[in-house]
């Protein structure tokens, strides 16, 4: 995902970059907000460095979830963030079959960016995965984005999210044949050391070697 991350970083630093056609990201456009004349260059650099660190952290969380946690099957993933600038939502389909991982990289980076947006101090967010397993079962798991990482929701948490109308509070009938499961802990990269911030400039790929593309 390095080419996509380079594109994100250039945009965060104030450069408007159109991704090249060979990257297959026609849908993705990054337009940085206008720079206030009162903002110093130092403040802009600090903001850019913070944004880079959040992108790196979100990518670590995404890769750890996909490469270690999800397991075999077809997965529909939805990431959401509630920020002072508005609501963000991105989704993607991906498939894991034994040692093969099939996904759309452009969709993956958009999901990672939403995770990063939810990591900003004044924002909140979450990620839900509906899995269609090889044995025909269907189940849903969820994670809340808190303290710069994906934190597992309980089966009751995710069941309530799916069976309560968010606008009225009324109960909804659960979907037939769908199981709501306790989410697994998403492991951190070993070299992370448990730190809540990072200054590295390239994301780690913590997928197993035979799942790296």
Predicted pLDDT of residue 41: 66
Q: Give the whole-angstrom CA distance, residue 60 versus residue 204.
A: 6
Residue ranges, the chain, pLDDT below 70: 1-39, 41-50, 191-213
What is the reported pLDDT for 192? 61
Residue 48, pLDDT score: 64
Predicted local distance difference test score (pLDDT) of residue 164? 82
The per-residue pLDDT for 125 is: 94
Residue 13's pLDDT is what? 39
The pLDDT of residue 47 = 61
Element (H, E) at 55: helix 41-64
Burial code of 129-141, b = ≥16 C-beta within 10 A, e = fewer? Answer: bbbeeeeeeebbb
Contact 127, 58 (CB under 8 A): no
Position 193 scores a pLDDT of 52
pLDDT of residue 176: 87
């Amino acid at each position: 995902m390095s080419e996509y991350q380079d594109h994100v970083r250039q945009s965060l630093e104030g450069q408007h970059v159109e991704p090249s056609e060979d990257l297959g990201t026609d849908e993705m456009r990054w337009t940085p907000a206008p720079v206030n004349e009162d903002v110093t260059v130092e403040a802009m650099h600090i903001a850019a460095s913070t944004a880079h660190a959040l992108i790196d952290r979100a990518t670590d969380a995404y890769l750890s979830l996909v490469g270690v946690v999800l397991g075999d099957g077809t997965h529909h993933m939805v990431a959401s963030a509630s920020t002072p600038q508005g609501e963000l939502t991105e989704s993607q389909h991906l498939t894991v079959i034994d040692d093969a991982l099939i996904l759309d990289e452009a969709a993956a980076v958009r999901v990672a960016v939403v995770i990063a947006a939810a990591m900003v101090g004044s924002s909140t967010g979450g990620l839900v995965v509906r899995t269609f397993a090889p044995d025909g079962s269907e189940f849903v798991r969820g994670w809340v984005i808190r303290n710069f990482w994906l934190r597992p929701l309980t089966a009751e948490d995710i069941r309530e999210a799916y069976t309560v109308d968010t606008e009225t509070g009324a109960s909804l009938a659960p979907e037939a044949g769908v199981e709501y499961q306790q989410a697994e802990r998403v492991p951190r990269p070993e070299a992370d050391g448990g730190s809540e911030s990072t200054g590295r400039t390239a994301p780690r790929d913590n997928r197993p070697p035979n799942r790296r593309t």
